Chain A
Amino acid sequence: MNLGRLVRRHAWSHPVRAALTVGAVAVAIFLFCFLRSIVTSLDAAVKESASNRIITASAVSLFQSLPSAYKESIARIDGVESISRMTWFGGRYKSEENFFAQFACDAETVFQQYPELVLPEEQKKAFMMDPGGAIVGVGLADKWGFKVGDKIPIIGTIYPRADLKMWEFNIHGVYHSTRANVDEMTMYFHYHYLDESLERGEAYGPRGTSVYLIRLKEGYRGEDVSHAIDTYYEGGPQRTRTQSEAAFQADFVNMLGNLPTFLGMIGAAVLIAIVFGIVNTMTIAARERLRSMGILQALGFPGWVPARLYLMESCAFAVTGGLAGMGIAWLSQDTFRKMFGTQIPMYRVAADTYLWSIVICVVTGLIGGAVPAWRAARMRAVDQLRRGI
């Protein structure tokens, strides 16, 4: 008789119990994948950042813009290949609770700065030609149903219009992103449009640039150029902090503070809960199977056979459940990307999360099987036969 077949028979002897156990593990593993993916997706933006780009922002505050005049003086610093401006707009779509990111950008240079932004040439051209034009990420377009040719109303929060009406932008393109460092949940429009509206008094708000994006010349080191820029503005009027794109993104992740710790604690609770679940099932199974295990031993099977059976059965439950949980996590990626698009635009379950899930399942399975296995190994066949129900 081969052990595998016995394990299968045992596992299926109570189909309802098997299903409940596998279901519980599946749910827990799915939750583990989800929680871990929140953290890894945020980190992905840091890891995939381009190395030939540095970003200059205010050293004083995230919300402080830099004077527009910095563009010319930064461009003259040695090692700067090209420079582009971006300003955080902070508007809301139609009503206050509909938030997504909007940036006013230098349309002439943004596509050179960000080769990650991919959209058809004719959409790009149409966007360049229209001062009130905009492009949106494919995630954003999916979420809100934006199409090329739409005119979308945006409430100015930092930049309200003097006539108290909403801003209107014409969608000319929908972009895709080739890397995790550039998300697909953002709208880009013309820097000049915003700046001129402020200049003419059609809108209020602080003039200036949130960040300068700088592409380095071949052979220059990011740290050296950053240092040169920051030294130049050390005495004001606004101090700058220039850093690699990766460091810039990492700052945002750091600002989340204790969030990763909280998620980790919840994840730990989830893992403990599955261990309890498996141990529970296996203890129940073992109680019911005392007699049959006694018979096995009485028939002459060695004493380690019941122990091995329990371990194998427990692992079978855990791994089956785990595979199901990973399947759910894999299938639900799109849904979560839509749900948490503004917070975690690039939600994705990373390969090593699946790997960790498998490891956890095997370990949980072993723990679950170990309890009855240990007991079975210490019991004599006679006692098992006697005490069995």
Chain B
Amino acid sequence: MKRRMVPLKYPLRSLVVRWQASILSALGIAMTIAVLCGVFALRTGFQALHADTGKSDVAIYLRTGATSEGESGVSLERVNTYKVRPEVALDDKGRQMAAGECYLALFLHKAEGGGLVNVPIRGIEPMSFDIHGDQFRMLPGGRKFNFGADEVIVGKPISGRIRDCKLGDTLIVNVTPFKVVGIFEHEGAYRSEIWGDVDRITAALERPMRQRVIAKLKPGTDVDKLAKALAKDKRLPSKVHSERGYFLSQTNILGGVLSILGTMLAAILGVAAVLGAANTMLAAVGSRTREVGILRSIGFGRNAILMAFLVEAALIGLAGGIIGCLIVLPLNGLETGTMNWNTFTESAFAFRVDAALLTTAIVVSIVLGLLGGFLPAWRASRMKPVEAMRRT
């Protein structure tokens, strides 16, 4: 007899016949996949918000040593030195496209519940708006703050969640009241911030230092080279990133923690799911010993038997994977907030379940099924036809 495969119908039908066990072990795998997808959807959403929105032609200058804005401090004198650096682009009126900004995470209260959160307040200069360009837009109903006035605008996700941040509210910064005159939306991580005039905010906070200089770069500027040169500069020791590079560095800790957590949880739960699938397949093989004997005696080879049971296991895995994905799919786009472990600030972003994640999930689920099914399938394929048929 030539190499012939057991028809696909056989494993499919036996799954249906033992539907209870099939579904239960598929659900075990589904739970694993749901946890894996959930954690990674969180990570993807967080990283997409940060990494994909930073611009490569915008530079961020921090003081040397600082790993984030919060740790940095740049004196006014140095701000002016940065602004006139040769790599800074000029706008159509010939002005330097650079701005010194201050940044501090304020203690504010959640709107409901009242617990404390760290919400970043950023003092900006008029040029900051030009550098952000069309990533920034005001929502209807409000207006931009006036420079020189004690006014602020608030990012949309913050506005609903934090006390005193709705349009028309008064926000106390240290001891100075600021009026909320507008709500803004930003494509990037800045959407979780409060913006106002840098001079007014530094005055209110009694912190004269700026935290960073942001500048649009002339076309063709090599940021890495610039970063290397300024790192060793004795007069102006700085840490320079492209905006994109800076955001990437800021997602490291949370991204890392979520990756480790997600992988670890999925691995541990995966073990449990594999054990469950193995149980089901073992029982499937055990109760079909006689059938295996018949299949062997009518000419199906060992590999055909092995394949048939592996296909059955893979199908259980696939079913689990699909159910797992279905459980997680509604999370896509759901807004949530969690602490960014680099800056300690609350960051609002949406879960993102994308095609890559779903594909990985399906592949992992099939692998889990196969791992669980291998031993039983192997056992089935090694059975001696005559003995198998004799056994009941």
Interface residues of A (CB under 8 A from B): 14, 16-17, 20-21, 23-25, 27-28, 30-31, 58-64, 90, 92, 96, 155-160, 164, 204-206, 235-239, 241, 251, 254-259, 262, 265-266, 269-270, 272-274, 276-277, 279-281, 283-284, 287-288, 343, 389
Q: Chain B nearest CB: distance from A76 CB in Å?
A: 22
**Which residue on A lies nearest to B106, using beta carbons?**
A61
- Docked CA distance A24–B275 (Å): 6
* B257 and A343 contacting across the interface, CB-CB below 8 Å: yes
* B107 and A158 contacting across the interface, CB-CB below 8 Å: no
Interface residues of B (CB under 8 A from A): 20-21, 24-25, 27-28, 31-32, 34-35, 38-39, 42, 63-67, 70-71, 73, 104-107, 115-118, 173-175, 205-207, 209, 232, 234, 237, 257, 265, 268-269, 271-273, 275-276, 278-280, 282-283, 286-287, 336-339, 341, 344, 346, 392
**Residue from the list B27, B173, B273 in contact with A60, Cβ < 8 A:** B173
> Are A281 and B279 also in contact (CB < 8 A) when A61-B107, A64-B207, A204-B63 are?
yes
The 10 closest A-B pairs by CB, nearest first: A160-B65, A280-B24, A273-B31, A24-B275, A284-B283, A27-B272, A24-B272, A20-B275, A254-B115, A277-B276
* B24 and A283 contacting across the interface, CB-CB below 8 Å: yes
* B35 and A269 contacting across the interface, CB-CB below 8 Å: yes
- Docked CA distance A241–B174 (Å): 11
- Docked CA distance A290–B27 (Å): 25
**Residue from the list B21, B66, B104, B392 in contact with A64, Cβ < 8 A:** B104
- Docked CA distance A30–B271 (Å): 12
Q: Chain A nearest CB: distance from B243 CB in Å?
A: 19
- Docked CA distance A243–B107 (Å): 15
- Given A24-B28, A257-B117, A280-B24, 10 other A-B residues pairs in contact with their CB atoms under 8 A: A24-B272, A28-B272, A62-B118, A63-B105, A90-B71, A157-B67, A160-B66, A205-B73, A206-B207, A276-B28
By a CB distance below 8 angstroms, the chain B residues around A288 are 283, 286-287
By a CB distance below 8 angstroms, the chain B residues around A14 are 282
* A27 and B175 contacting across the interface, CB-CB below 8 Å: no
* B32 and A257 contacting across the interface, CB-CB below 8 Å: no
By a CB distance below 8 angstroms, the chain A residues around B118 are 61-62, 255
> Are A157 and B65 also in contact (CB < 8 A) when A30-B268, A61-B107, A206-B209 are?
yes
* B31 and A60 contacting across the interface, CB-CB below 8 Å: no
* A276 and B31 contacting across the interface, CB-CB below 8 Å: yes
> Are A21 and B175 also in contact (CB < 8 A) when A160-B237, A164-B64 are?
no
- Docked CA distance A284–B346 (Å): 48
Q: Chain B nearest CB: distance from A372 CB in Å?
A: 10
By a CB distance below 8 angstroms, the chain A residues around B32 are 273
By a CB distance below 8 angstroms, the chain A residues around B20 are 283
By a CB distance below 8 angstroms, the chain B residues around A236 are 174-175, 206
- Docked CA distance A189–B275 (Å): 51
- Docked CA distance A277–B25 (Å): 7
Pull 18 A–B residue pairs with CB atoms less than 8 Å apart, ordered by A. A17-B283, A20-B276, A59-B107, A60-B104, A62-B107, A160-B63, A164-B234, A236-B174, A239-B174, A256-B338, A257-B346, A270-B269, A277-B24, A277-B275, A277-B279, A280-B276, A284-B280, A287-B287
By a CB distance below 8 angstroms, the chain A residues around B25 are 276, 280
By a CB distance below 8 angstroms, the chain A residues around B66 are 157-158, 160
- Docked CA distance A24–B232 (Å): 56
> Are A160 and B117 also in contact (CB < 8 A) when A27-B269, A28-B272, A266-B38 are?
no
By a CB distance below 8 angstroms, the chain B residues around A281 are 279
**Which residue on B lies nearest to A22, using beta carbons?**
B275
Q: Chain A nearest CB: distance from B28 CB in Å?
A: 5
**Which residue on A lies nearest to B253, using beta carbons?**
A99
- Docked CA distance A258–B39 (Å): 13
* A157 and B269 contacting across the interface, CB-CB below 8 Å: no
- How many residue pairs link A and B with beta carbons under 8 A? The number is 184
> Are A257 and B28 also in contact (CB < 8 A) when A59-B107, A63-B70, A343-B257 are?
no
> Are A259 and B339 also in contact (CB < 8 A) when A23-B275, A157-B65, A204-B73 are?
yes
* B174 and A238 contacting across the interface, CB-CB below 8 Å: yes
**Residue from the list B34, B63, B207 in contact with A269, Cβ < 8 A:** B34
By a CB distance below 8 angstroms, the chain A residues around B272 are 23-25, 27-28, 31, 273-274, 277
By a CB distance below 8 angstroms, the chain A residues around B35 are 266, 269-270
By a CB distance below 8 angstroms, the chain B residues around A239 are 174-175
* A255 and B339 contacting across the interface, CB-CB below 8 Å: yes
* A276 and B27 contacting across the interface, CB-CB below 8 Å: yes
Q: Chain A nearest CB: distance from B233 CB in Å?
A: 9
* A60 and B174 contacting across the interface, CB-CB below 8 Å: yes
* A156 and B65 contacting across the interface, CB-CB below 8 Å: yes
- Docked CA distance A241–B63 (Å): 29
By a CB distance below 8 angstroms, the chain A residues around B106 are 60-61
- Docked CA distance A284–B278 (Å): 12
* B24 and A276 contacting across the interface, CB-CB below 8 Å: yes
By a CB distance below 8 angstroms, the chain A residues around B280 are 280, 284
* A60 and B107 contacting across the interface, CB-CB below 8 Å: yes
**Which residue on B lies nearest to A251, using beta carbons?**
B116
> Are A389 and B392 also in contact (CB < 8 A) when A61-B104, A270-B269, A273-B31 are?
yes
By a CB distance below 8 angstroms, the chain A residues around B31 are 269-270, 272-273, 276
**Which residue on B lies nearest to A92, using beta carbons?**
B67
- Docked CA distance A277–B107 (Å): 46
Q: Chain A nearest CB: distance from B119 CB in Å?
A: 10
* A280 and B207 contacting across the interface, CB-CB below 8 Å: no
By a CB distance below 8 angstroms, the chain A residues around B341 are 343
- Docked CA distance A53–B25 (Å): 54
By a CB distance below 8 angstroms, the chain B residues around A259 are 338-339
**Which residue on A lies nearest to B175, using beta carbons?**
A236
- Docked CA distance A96–B231 (Å): 14
* A96 and B67 contacting across the interface, CB-CB below 8 Å: yes
By a CB distance below 8 angstroms, the chain A residues around B237 are 160, 164
**Residue from the list B42, B265, B279, B338 in contact with A17, Cβ < 8 A:** B279
Q: Chain A nearest CB: distance from B208 CB in Å?
A: 10
**Which residue on B lies nearest to A206, using beta carbons?**
B73
**Which residue on B lies nearest to A64, using beta carbons?**
B104
* B105 and A61 contacting across the interface, CB-CB below 8 Å: yes
By a CB distance below 8 angstroms, the chain A residues around B117 are 254-255, 257
By a CB distance below 8 angstroms, the chain A residues around B175 are 235-236, 239
Q: Which residue, of A25, A160, A241, has the highest number of chain B Cβ atoms within 10 A?
A: A160
By a CB distance below 8 angstroms, the chain A residues around B42 are 262
Q: Chain A nearest CB: distance from B25 CB in Å?
A: 6
- Docked CA distance A10–B265 (Å): 32
- Docked CA distance A56–B122 (Å): 25
**Which residue on B lies nearest to A19, using beta carbons?**
B275
Q: Chain A nearest CB: distance from B270 CB in Å?
A: 9
- Docked CA distance A160–B117 (Å): 28
- Docked CA distance A16–B38 (Å): 32
> Are A265 and B38 also in contact (CB < 8 A) when A92-B67, A157-B66 are?
yes
- Docked CA distance A160–B24 (Å): 58
